[in-house]
Chain A
């Protein structure tokens, strides 16, 4: 099962050829997908040979195979992690039952909804990032962007396979719709708000891959715990690919910070206006971008209290992050959890049933993980001997979903008036001027080994190649 069959039109390790009906259905979907890639995929890159990682099997020695490939020729396929023998449903009311190899009838609608929502985010990020190839700060970065794009495309395939194989006609219709919605489209937008935001520049891209792809890590991990085994195996393989996306974000921001602090030290300057005169991104602007992307991503986890989340958990469809490593009863009926709410004009903690707060549990796990990474960025600033520190804003800041939607909360967690918000928002969220300034720095650098002025080179190349390796060949 681990070997991937590349002789097939749709590479797979799920014995697709044995199910002719499914194979035909997916082969029918494939031209529409390729057309979508043509229309909405990376701009102006059709003829490039890109040093891409392609899986040749799902075992550790085969999943990262490198070579120059033209993106339209990348073999988007269906790869499931190896099956775990005797796997059980590990949580909820069906705990202890054998994991489902088929969709349990009573959970069909909920599972479909989970898969469609996850699937919708994958092509959305490709659409959000489609113009970035034109302003890549180096060949190395351009290659990383394209790697992310093809893998997001493949993740769409992973979800479409599940829809086609397990959800009959409804599934096929949902799979079609995944290609019809488009990020930011007024009439037919993507399902989740963060995936309709623009990713106009590379600072936004790195923030997106740090914060939003990290959301992917938590969502995919929660789905990898699912009692529906095909979904679990699909997500487990997706997670190995997702890691690179998060790496691009974390190391990208680290390199931006490195370059900025190098310039600040070299010229002994701290004033952001002075810093900008040297063509690098001031730390204050980085903080505002961080505030924006953090808060938008925190919204992705959904409402603070959700009966859907409780249903998904109790049914065994979606677990918690690292479900099987936690020491509790994995049923959670008598467990409580503290969430935040607004009461008498201030933000207070309130204890509520944990089952209804599972979105908040996942959000809090995510926030802890995000904060740790910001600490790693701060060490770069600390090492440079500067006093500035980046911070994640309070989780109630700039929220549009859940109990804080419609309220104004400062980054340090104070409920503020509309007037205070309006007078400070320019310090808290990126302004048009910030975005225009960052946009003014964007320009394509394609000479091997060269970097744009606003970013430091990476410490190591991809697959241990040198930094001046020809990661992209422009034909």
Chain B
């Protein structure tokens, strides 16, 4: 293995010490306890913050709303932030380094965690105009809700290297409203080697608002068992192994729901373009299933669905079987496999280019774009979209900016 080690970048949440008045509302509000302070500064723990934004509106100063792109390995530590009198200048991350990191991280790179705090993306800060109203933060780290495991199935072939599970959580008679695209926090029991309780991990919900099983108060998650760290060394992901090993009937502590922007449009004429890899398929499955149920109930749904889905091979593609059963008139599916014997490596961006004409046509209409999966896919996907648009006389930079403003471009990568 002579390949260079992939560099992961994160969007680190920082507080400007020059503007912050130390009023304590951010720390009080943070649902995941990512904010702490000493007598000098208020600071954010990079490895805990999930960028949920709950701290933003209670801050009277705006000092809380700072985001720096930094290499994950050298994110500013708590100790460092506590000494600051002012924010350090934003690091000038060379575009070629970012691109290199992106391609290194693409389908070859191992997923090393499912925290959602690593997005460096251009993404809408508002939901689609017709999205249903989400409920958020009903349950917190301090006051979680208990769910029961109603099912835990391996989605990937027994011979596949990646072990992805479909896990169904049942909330019984408790209130837990959820919308497609929202996520929940799982609180693994126990403590780490230092005796501190484990951090909460975020997972996107894979089922639609009416439940994994319609009419039941349950939801599903798509969880990949993490067995290697970022450097490829053997390690066991705390939350993913905990979840994947839970038997039916076991209970789990849950916080949330989280997420107010990455939501699906409700108006039936809206087109949905979905691009994902691996467990990034969870919100796509939720949205697709919501549309399928509407159609099955005889509702008029004339918006188009188009899906680009990447995995190493069909065996490692979660929900491959059920997806294949969906008729072509309902959803236009494009699969990209990077490890098929005897075949060239194909990534979602390659499939986007191949279907360029249809993609450009769709982007011209009332279309909502969702991207979810490994951080490394993002640059390639954006480049492909730019090319596809250019070939059709569309200006991607202007179009994407407009889509961001209109709540039509949503990116969640990790």
B136 surroundings in chain A (CB, below 8 A) = 59-61
Task: Indicate whether A63 reaches chain B with its CB closer than 8 angstroms.
Answer: yes
Task: Indicate whether A330 reaches chain B with its CB closer than 8 angstroms.
Answer: no
Which of chain A's residues 350-382 have a Cβ closer than 8 Å to chain B?
A: 368-369, 372-373, 376, 379
Closest to A81 in B: B28
In angstroms, Cα B29 to Cα A334, docked, is 34
Q: Mark the stretch among B18-26, B238-246, B332-340, B386-394 that contacts chain A.
A: B18-26
A369 surroundings in chain B (CB, below 8 A) = 22, 39
Task: Indicate whether A459 reaches chain B with its CB closer than 8 angstroms.
Answer: yes
A240 surroundings in chain B (CB, below 8 A) = 25, 28-29, 58
In angstroms, Cα B22 to Cα A368, docked, is 12
A243 lies within 8 A of B18 (CB)? no
Given known A-B contacts A63-B57, A244-B60, A373-B22, A236 and B137 have beta carbons under 8 A apart = no
Closest to A249 in B: B21
Given known A-B contacts A60-B58, A63-B57, A84 and B143 have beta carbons under 8 A apart = yes
Given known A-B contacts A60-B54, A63-B57, A217-B24, A379 and B62 have beta carbons under 8 A apart = no
Task: Indicate whether A425 reaches chain B with its CB closer than 8 angstroms.
Answer: no
User: How many A residues touch B, CB cutoff 8 Å?
Assistant: 28
A63 surroundings in chain B (CB, below 8 A) = 57-58
Task: Indicate whether B55 reaches chain A with its CB closer than 8 angstroms.
Answer: yes
B137 lies within 8 A of A60 (CB)? yes
B24 lies within 8 A of A243 (CB)? yes
A236 surroundings in chain B (CB, below 8 A) = 28
Task: Indicate whether A251 reaches chain B with its CB closer than 8 angstroms.
Answer: yes
A251 lies within 8 A of B61 (CB)? yes
A82-99: CB near B (< 8 Å → 1, else 0) gives 001100000000000000
Task: Indicate whether A247 reaches chain B with its CB closer than 8 angstroms.
Answer: yes
A459 lies within 8 A of B19 (CB)? yes
B57 surroundings in chain A (CB, below 8 A) = 60-61, 63-64
User: How many B residues touch A, CB cutoff 8 Å?
Assistant: 28
- Smallest CB separation, B263 vs chain A (Å): 13
In angstroms, Cα B18 to Cα A84, docked, is 33
B1-34: CB near A (< 8 Å → 1, else 0) gives 0000000000000000011011111001101000
B85 surroundings in chain A (CB, below 8 A) = 379
Main secondary structure of the interface of A (DSSP, over half): helix
Main secondary structure of the interface of B (DSSP, over half): loop
- Smallest CB separation, A146 vs chain B (Å): 15
A372 surroundings in chain B (CB, below 8 A) = 22, 39-40
B40-63: CB near A (< 8 Å → 1, else 0) gives 100000000000011111111110
Task: Indicate whether B196 reaches chain A with its CB closer than 8 angstroms.
Answer: no
Of A243, A459, A460, A464, chain B has the most CB atoms within 10 Å of the CB of: A243
B21 lies within 8 A of A247 (CB)? yes
A122 surroundings in chain B (CB, below 8 A) = none
Task: Indicate whether B300 reaches chain A with its CB closer than 8 angstroms.
Answer: no
B39 lies within 8 A of A60 (CB)? no
Closest to A369 in B: B22
A368 surroundings in chain B (CB, below 8 A) = 39
Closest to A64 in B: B57
In angstroms, Cα B53 to Cα A60, docked, is 9
A239 lies within 8 A of B28 (CB)? yes
A243 lies within 8 A of B21 (CB)? yes
A376 surroundings in chain B (CB, below 8 A) = 18
Can you spell out 29 A-B residue pairs with CB atoms less than 8 angstroms apart?
Answer: A59-B136, A59-B137, A60-B57, A60-B137, A63-B58, A64-B57, A221-B24, A236-B28, A239-B24, A240-B58, A242-B23, A243-B21, A243-B23, A243-B59, A244-B60, A246-B23, A246-B60, A247-B60, A250-B21, A251-B21, A251-B61, A368-B39, A369-B22, A369-B39, A372-B40, A373-B21, A376-B18, A460-B62, A464-B62
List the 6 closest A-B pairs by CB distance, nearest first. Answer: A243-B23, A60-B54, A247-B60, A244-B60, A64-B57, A85-B143
Q: Please list the residues of chain A having a beta carbon within 8 angstroms of any beta carbon in chain B.
A: 59-61, 63-64, 84-85, 217, 221, 236, 239-240, 242-244, 246-247, 250-251, 368-369, 372-373, 376, 379, 459-460, 464
Known contacts A64-B57, A64-B58, A369-B39; can you find 8 more A-B pairs with CB under 8 A? A60-B54, A60-B137, A85-B143, A242-B23, A243-B24, A247-B61, A379-B85, A459-B19
